[in-house]
Amino acid sequence: MTTLAPTAADNPVESLLHALAGLLPAALAHIGAASAEPETSLREAVMRRRKDLGLTKREAEVLTLIARDFTNREIAAQLVISVRTAEHHVAHILRKLGASTRREAAARARRLVDGEVPRLALELLRAA
């Protein structure tokens, strides 16, 4: 009498591990890309979600700089705008995000990048 080895389909834990193993290379590649160029990843994540956040393109640019700890003066210099205009952009961003401080807005922007790996994993899991 020959016994067959159990397959992944017979064991739900094995099935889950098999699915996760297939996601691992994509997740690692994404993490590697994010760590290689954090400013680019941050900018891309904010730009992708800007409409969901109710931000204009310029406000998304400013939020990216806030998340990189730029002051209003540094934001103005980087974007070639006046300091007063930078202050207005920052005030609008805080209001739209419901944030009371720049630090809170910056943390929210950084979470957009952190949320990219789980989103990617969910998309790949649905496709499998």
- For 119, the domain range is 30-127
Q: Is residue 110 part of a domain?
A: yes
Per-residue confidence band for 39, with pLDDT thresholds at 50, 70 and 90: low
Distance CA 113, CA 44 (A): 9
How far apart (Å, rounded) are the C-alpha atoms in residues 72 and 77?
9
User: Tokens 């016994």, residue?
Assistant: 3
Instruction: For residue range 56-106, list pLDDT tens digits in order.
Output: 999 999 999 999 999 999 999 999 999 999 999 999 999 999 999 999 999
The confidence band for 36, taking pLDDT boundaries of 50, 70 and 90, is: very low
In a domain, 100, yes or no: yes
Q: Is residue 55 part of a domain?
A: yes
pLDDT, tens digit, 9 for 90 and up, residues 3-23: 555 555 578 778 777 777 766
| Residue 18: inside a domain | no
For residue 63, which of 115, 116, 114, 102 has the smallest C-alpha distance? 102
What's the total number of domains in the chain? Answer: 1
pLDDT above 50 for 27: yes
Residue 97 belongs to some domain of the structure:
yes
User: Which residue has 């720049």 as its token pair?
Assistant: 102
CATH of the domain at 85: 1.10.10.10
Q: What CA–CA distance (Å, rounded) separates 69 from 71?
A: 6
- pTM of the prediction? 0.62
Q: What count of other Cβ atoms lies within 10 Å of the Cβ of residue 37?
A: 11
